[in-house]
């Protein structure tokens, strides 16, 4: 089955710096790679996702890159702010046929990001 | 509010007891997924239901069971509880049939404490 590894487990940056979180996956059939942000006491919230037919996607200060050959994908946060402090999870999954519905996502172990003012 | 409702938010119970966690998916979503998040751990997949039918199983213990009802809400039943079952339990939903939208929408979770 799919296995997702995520690094680093913790990341401390100064406000305004960039932060990069990296993930690798094992199943070459995976075609959907979302990133979730989990704040204390809340459920994970989707912040950006990428599908295997694109190599990069950007949304304001957040970008995700995908290297299908190497089976890794990364989250880039620029101009970090204290409110970016949270746990970030990457995940990998496979879209499925309409008969079976979407197959489960496999999550990385999370990265605790701390942005200091 | 994500649109996925989980109740109760907190639950404290004794070892050996049985509890039921409830999840109402986002309106229109057919798939429901249950995940367990232990302290400082990632999200471990337990089970998926799609339109009332079990679709996939993960690392779900035999003491745990789930079902999805005709109105699409789901319940996760945990029995013979042990201290190690203390965790956050999340429910997520997806449209299922909509291949253009794969993203999970998570509920806010149920924090289970077994004492």
Q: Cβ–Cβ of B108/A109 closer than 8 Å?
A: no
pLDDT score recorded for residue B100: 47
- Flag the least confident range among A35-39, A61-65, B36-40, B101-105: B101-105
CA B82/CA B63 separation, integer angstroms: 10
Q: Cβ–Cβ of B108/A101 closer than 8 Å?
A: no
Chain B residues in contact with A47 by the CB 8 A cut-off are: none
CA A50/CA A20 separation, integer angstroms: 16
pLDDT score recorded for residue A51: 86
Q: Cβ–Cβ of A104/B41 closer than 8 Å?
A: no
CA B64/CA B18 separation, integer angstroms: 10
Chain B residues in contact with A52 by the CB 8 A cut-off are: none
Chain B residues in contact with A93 by the CB 8 A cut-off are: 102
CA B49/CA B33 separation, integer angstroms: 6
Residue A80 falls in which region: left (phi positive, over 0), alpha (psi -120 to 50) or beta: beta
Tell me which chain A residue has its CA closest to the CA of residue B93. A102
- Spell out where chain B has E strands: 5-7, 10-13, 19-24, 31-37, 43-50, 53-57, 64-68, 74-78, 87-94, 105-106, 110-114
- Flag the least confident range among A66-70, A73-77, B44-48, B93-97: B93-97
Chain B residues in contact with A49 by the CB 8 A cut-off are: 102-103
Beta bridge partners of A71: none
CB pairs under 8 A between A and B: 71
Tokens at B61, concatenated: 């213990």
Q: Cβ–Cβ of B31/A32 closer than 8 Å?
A: no
Bigger pLDDT: A31 vs B19: B19
Q: Which of residues 55-114 of B touch A (CB under 8 A)?
A: 55-56, 58, 90, 92, 94-97, 99, 102-109
Which of B2, B45, B105 is closest, CB to CB, to A106?
Answer: B45
Q: What angle do CA A41, B2, B13 make, to 5 degrees?
A: 45
First CA to last CA distance, chain A: 41
Q: Cβ–Cβ of B56/A103 closer than 8 Å?
A: yes
* Residue A92 CB coordination number (10 Å): 25
pLDDT of B98 > 50? The answer is: no
pLDDT score recorded for residue B102: 61
pLDDT score recorded for residue B40: 66
Could you give the percent of chain B with pLDDT greater than 70? 93
pLDDT of A90 > 90? The answer is: yes
- Least Cα distance to B72 among B105, B24, B33, B110 occurs for B24
First CA to last CA distance, chain B: 30
Could you give the percent of chain B with pLDDT greater than 90? 72
């Amino acid at each position: 089955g799919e296995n997702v590894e995520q690094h680093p487990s913790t990341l401390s940056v100064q406000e305004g710096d960039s932060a990069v979180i990296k993930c690798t996956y094992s199943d070459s059939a995976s075609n959907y790679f979302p990133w979730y942000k989990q704040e204390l006491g809340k459920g994970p919230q989707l912040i950006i996702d990428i599908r295997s037919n694109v190599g990069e996607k950007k949304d304001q200060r957040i970008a995700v890159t995908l290297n299908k050959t190497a089976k890794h994908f990364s989250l880039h946060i620029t101009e970090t702010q204290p409110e970016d402090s949270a746990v970030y999870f990457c995940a990998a999954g496979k879209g499925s046929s309409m008969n079976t519905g979407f197959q489960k996502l496999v999550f990385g172990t999370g990265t605790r990001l701390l942005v200091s003012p | 509010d994500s649109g996925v409702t989980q109740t109760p938010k907190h639950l404290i119970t004794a070892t050996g007891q049985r509890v039921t966690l409830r999840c109402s998916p986002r309106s229109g979503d057919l798939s429901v997924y249950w995940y367990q998040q232990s302290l400082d751990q990632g999200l471990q997949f337990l089970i998926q239901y799609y339109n009332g039918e079990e679709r996939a199983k993960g690392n779900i213990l035999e003491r745990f069971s789930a079902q999805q009802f005709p109105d699409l809400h789901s319940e996760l039943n945990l029995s013979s509880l042990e201290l190690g079952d203390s965790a956050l339990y999340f429910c997520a939903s997806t449209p299922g049939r909509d291949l253009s939208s794969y993203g999970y929408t998570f509920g806010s979770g149920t924090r289970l404490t077994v004492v």
